[in-house]
Amino acid sequence: MYDYNILEDSELIQRLSADDNHAFTEIYNRYWKKLFTVAANKINDLDEAEEIVQDIFISLWRRREELTVIDTLSSYLAVSVKYKVIKLLDKRNTRQKYLGYSKDHISIADNYTEEWLEFEELKSRLTIFVAELPEKCRMVYQLSRESGYSQKKIAAEMGISEKTVEAHLGKALKTLRARLSQFLL
């Protein structure tokens, strides 16, 4: 068997281009640790660094027939690591931006849903509390708040004085505020 340890990088590339598995093994053994160290120092994740280096060697094997144009193998591999690291860091950055965006917007949507449900519950309770008011108080409140009548119009509609409408409305509002504040607590 031939001693591949003594071959220059250019000779290894020529042999690799000719489908020499031993030349690939020598390149792998010669550069794997260096490439891994560079990648690991840049991205601070050993698994991802290993994956980057493995991808580079897979690509090297797949493109072995095109490698005759490489001047220096070490420069080629160093640039390959650099671009893979940049690509990974860009992907991480994009993921972080998306997560930040979705976190902000999803929480707003969640808050909106929660607030809507609370509002519906409050509205339901208010309807119950209004129904429990004394009859004249309830009628004055409903004409005022639900139908939008003025106190003067309510007085004319019900055949009572404006002062009485004011008293019934005041009593209704006071009762409803007290009941709703107990509910909210």
Domain range annotation of the chain: 4-98, 132-184
Among 2.40.50.140, 1.10.1740.10, 3.30.2350.10, 3.40.50.300, what is the CATH number of 4-98?
1.10.1740.10
Number of neighbouring beta carbons within 10 Å of residue 185: 5
- Cα 159 from Cα 7, distance rounded (Å): 112
pLDDT tens for the 185 residues of the chain, in order: 567 778 888 888 888 888 889 999 999 999 999 999 999 999 888 999 999 999 999 999 998 888 766 778 888 898 999 999 999 988 888 888 877 766 666 655 556 777 778 888 888 888 888 899 999 999 998 889 888 889 999 999 899 999 999 999 999 989 988 888 887 76
Give the CA angle between residues 13, 15, 76 to the nearest 5°: 10
- Cα 172 from Cα 166, distance rounded (Å): 10
* The CATH number of domain 132-184 is 1.10.10.10: yes
Question: Checking phi first, is residue 19 left (phi over 0); if not, alpha (psi -120 to 50) or beta?
Answer: left
Inter-axis angle of helices 73-131 and 21-43, nearest 10:
50
pTM across the whole model: 0.52
